[in-house]
Amino acid sequence: MAPEFDLEPPPRVVDGSLLVAVVVLLATGITSLVSGRPSGGWVFDVHAVAGLATVVLLAWKLRRVRHRISPGALDATRAMSVLLGVVTTGALATGVWWVFGGRLDLGPWGLLNLHIGLGLVVPVLLAVHLRQRFALPRRETVADRRNALRYGAVLGAGALAWRAQETTSRVLDTAGADRRFTGSREDGSDAGNDFPVTSWVADDPDPVDVDAWTLDVTGHVDTSLSLSAAALPVGEGESETAISRGDRDPASVEAAGKRALLDCTSGWYSEHDWGGIRVGDLLDAAAPDEDAAWVQFQSVTGYRWSLPLGEARDALLATRVDGDPLSHGHGAPMRLVAPGRRGFQWVKWVEEVRVTRRRGLGELVAVFVSGLDG
């Protein structure tokens, strides 16, 4: 190794590494939004370490290019580059700030939503930037051993910083210290309906008229069911109820309970004792066809999400939280409780349980646009 070894890699290697880092950050960032089980925790670690490495890479890059930016020399291409630099810095800063317990009140959204928003804009701006300025690094430069050492150093520093941050948060006792592995912080556990009411995008229906409401079980089942609120074992003290099934014998469904943790991607979690009925009991009553594989839960608003049949059986359709009837904001008369799934999958104001063979892809759109039509 040359004695004057400099940690900073050549310009094109920095640029190429930034591109790789953004791809990794985008992939892990999006994956993290659907990761709710501890086994998916590594996704958050990779995201954090890549983010910290990006801080170093971006600092090198900005130091190198800053002299090019003077108000006189600002053409469209450079304005684009400046915007990219600002948005990327913003995405990194909001991420770091979140980890150290930062908060921001943006109406229905918070700091983590801002981080996600900025993070999604970066790849778009970067694509434009690359069209204007892209140049491949030479292969010898990429394969150079000193550059490999530099990568190792940058990633190692990122990993160390990520580890150290946990200790720092704990020692300083910042609000960041009580984060789950998903980054979410506790809010309103065991407090009945007193925890945040969140809509992912714009869903905000009028309260559901319980007298007109029915829960319908449809699709690939032997017997479709339509249950009124009165036909559910949801009142206080009721433990089971008979569900009529056309010309088959009535099925009985018992009241069921489950303790489960709702973890919203906007950065909070809340753990409660939920009461309602097991989806499995409902499915037993309806008798899914042989080829049934998915169960879709649909809201009165059109918002919907599917779970694989086996997992759905173990989910709960809740009418109560910590012993109290569910409030309208939390999805009355009935909401899905899907343990291990992120909050946006816990469909509120459920009115239909549809058994399907294949997953309906429309739901991937519906969770974003539901409620936007007013």
Residues forming contacts to Mo ion in the complex (CB under 5 A) are 198, 264, 343-344
Q: Is 330 in the site for ligand MTE (CB under 6 A)?
A: yes
Nearer to ligand MTE, 119 or 137 (CB): 119
Q: Is 369 in the site for ligand MTE (CB under 6 A)?
A: no
CA distance linking residue 303 with residue 177, whole number of Å: 34
**Token pair belonging to 371:** 């409620």
Q: Which range in 30-38, 45-53, 166-174, 189-197 contacts ligand MTE by CB under 6 A?
A: 189-197
What is residue 348's DSSP assignment? S
Q: Is 199 in the site for ligand MTE (CB under 6 A)?
A: yes
What is residue 288's DSSP assignment? B
Nearer to ligand MTE, 53 or 338 (CB): 338
Residue 25: other Cβ atoms inside 10 A? 24
Q: Which of 349, 354, 355, 366 binds ligand MTE (CB under 6 A)?
A: 349
Report, in Å, the least distance between residue 108 CB and ligand MTE.
10
From ligand MTE, Mo ion, none, which one binds at residue 299 (CB under 5 to 8 Å depending on kind)? ligand MTE
Q: Is 198 in the site for ligand MTE (CB under 6 A)?
A: yes
Q: Which of 44, 278, 303, 309 binds ligand MTE (CB under 6 A)?
A: 303
Nearer to ligand MTE, 44 or 303 (CB): 303
Report, in Å, the least distance between residue 260 CB and ligand MTE.
12
Q: Which of 98, 200, 269, 297 binds ligand MTE (CB under 6 A)?
A: 200
Peptide bond into 333 cis (omega under 30): yes
Q: Which of 92, 122, 260, 264 binds ligand MTE (CB under 6 A)?
A: 264
Nearer to ligand MTE, 95 or 343 (CB): 343
3-state DSSP of the chain: CCCCCCCCCCHHHHHHHHHHHHHHHHHHHHHHHCCCCHHHHHHHHHHHHHHHHHHHHHHHHHHHHHHHCCHHHCCHHHHHHHHHHHHHHHHHHHHHHHHCCCCCEECCEEHHHHHHHHHHHHHHHHHHHHHHHCCCCCHHHHHCHHHHHHHHHHHHHHHHHHHHHHHHHHHHCCHHHHCCCCCCEECCCCCCCCCCCCCCCCCCCCCCCCCCCEEEEEECECCCEEEEHHHCCCCCCCCEEEEEECCEEEEEEEEEEEEEEEEECCCEEEEEEEEEEEHHHHHHHHCECCCCCEEEEEECCCCEEEEEHHHHHCCEEEEEECCEECCCCCCCCCEEECCCCEHHHCCCCEEEEEEECCCCCHHHHHHHHCCCCC
Nearer to ligand MTE, 118 or 334 (CB): 334
Nearer to ligand MTE, 264 or 283 (CB): 264
From Mo ion, ligand MTE, none, which one binds at residue 319 (CB under 5 to 8 Å depending on kind)? none
3-class DSSP state of 263: strand
Report, in Å, the least distance between residue 333 CB and ligand MTE.
13
Report, in Å, the least distance between residue 280 CB and ligand MTE.
21
Q: Which of 301, 306, 319, 356 binds ligand MTE (CB under 6 A)?
A: 301
Nearer to ligand MTE, 251 or 264 (CB): 264
At 131, the amino acid letter reads: R
Q: Which of 346, 352, 356, 366 binds ligand MTE (CB under 6 A)?
A: 346
Residues 47/53/57/60 CA torsion (nearest 10 deg) = 140
Q: Is 275 in the site for ligand MTE (CB under 6 A)?
A: no
From Mo ion, ligand MTE, none, which one binds at residue 297 (CB under 5 to 8 Å depending on kind)? none
Q: Is 344 in the site for ligand MTE (CB under 6 A)?
A: yes
Nearer to Mo ion, 12 or 328 (CB): 328
* Chain contacts with ligand MTE (rule: CB under 6 A): 195-200, 203, 262, 264, 299, 301, 303, 329-331, 343-344, 346-349
